[in-house]
Amino acid sequence: MDSRERILALLAGKKSDQVPFDIWYTPEIRDQLLNYYKIDAEQELWRLLKIDKIAWVNAPYIDLKAPIIDERGHQIVINEWGSGIRTVEHSSEGSYEEVVTYPLQDAETIEEIEAHGWPNPDRFDYQALLESCQAYSNWPRMLDFISLFEIYCKLRPMDLSLMDLYVEQDLADAIIDKIFKIQKRYIEKSFEVCGDAIDIVYLSDDMGMQDRQLISVEVWEERFKKPYRELIELVHSKGAYVFYHSDGAAFPIIEQMVDLGIDIINPIQHACPGMERKHLIEAFGSRVVFHGAVENQQILPFGTPEEVRQEVKANIKTLGKYNRYICAPCHNLQPGTPLENILALYNSERTW
């Protein structure tokens, strides 16, 4: 089997010839690996590491506003939702993006929500999306980035976003509905142009903290269950699969998403309460494919290569019980992760 066949076999409920291995990494780790192998092509890196990469594809927005410069001389990029994003360097010789301006921060009425400059779903570059699908034709291709609450938190600061769900519910419903309708049309247009070149659609809403959920199940059901049901049904109607990402301790909401029909759950942060590997396999059995689970808060950055290999072995033994597991780090490999630990991960035994 090649990588695409291997991943699609799992999603179809069939046994693959070996355990698939995927990779998530920051640009700094990607460049470190490219330099290590003395190559410049990312797909060649995946082949050298024998990675069954789920390739991310998207349609860039055409009508982006020009970046602005703040009072300290920092460039702020305005995304399609109107959020201002700045790149911040950190001490591990890397960088990350943070939202610094929130276009709906001061909104108090539904009229103000309606008046916001929402992205036009017809103004994404779907031809560029098709070209990306063609460039990754040997890999399973995943459309991103579909979210409801994560985008909400880029329109309003997180503290306000959380309070809205409980206190300003009409405002919250108006914002969620706008995001949902744009995302739904984005998915529809993507399939109209690309057809079966899209294998998977990525849904992401971090619903967990390290030790508990971010919001209650009752609020999630009231605000998010219906739009997510529609998005999942839409993706399945196109013959594609649904990949769902939520960090942290969010088992009750993940359970709801499994009941709605998601096909892959990620990242399996099994150090968090309720997300233990044994608990997940007992709860979901063969209903979903598990993706991730190689612990990257302690083992990957601070463990030994042997501890990494034992972590991989434990994941395959437990989460691979029904031959429905894709081994990968449970989040992006971060700068400072020892190269020998990364290589230990991808040189691990791959038999079921």
Per-position DSSP letters for 70-111, written without gaps between them: -TTS-EEEE-TTS-EEEEEEETTTEEEEEEEE-TTTT--SHH
Whether pLDDT at 78 is above 90: yes
In a domain, 82, yes or no: no
Q: Tokens at residue 117, please? A: 């400059």
pLDDT band at 100 (very low <50, low <70, confident <90, very high): very high
pLDDT band at 111 (very low <50, low <70, confident <90, very high): very high
- Evaluated on CA atoms 302, 306, 308, 314, the torsion sign reads negative
DSSP state of 67: P
In a domain, 163, yes or no: yes
In a domain, 16, yes or no: yes
In a domain, 76, yes or no: no
Whether pLDDT at 221 is above 80: yes
Domain that holds residue 142: 3-63+104-346
Backbone φ, ψ for residue 292 (5° rounding) = 110, -130
Cα 317–Cα 52–Cα 292 angle in degrees, nearest 5: 45
Domain holding 38: CATH number? 3.20.20.210
Q: What is the pLDDT of residues 328-344, one digit of tens each?
A: 999 999 999 999 999 99
In a domain, 93, yes or no: no
Question: What percent of the chain lies above the pLDDT cut of 90?
Answer: 95
In a domain, 352, yes or no: no
Average pLDDT over residues 62-85: 93
pLDDT value for 102: 98
In a domain, 83, yes or no: no
pLDDT value for 141: 98
Q: What is the pLDDT of residues 141-164, one digit of tens each?
A: 999 999 999 999 999 999 999 999
Question: What's the domain count of the chain?
Answer: 1
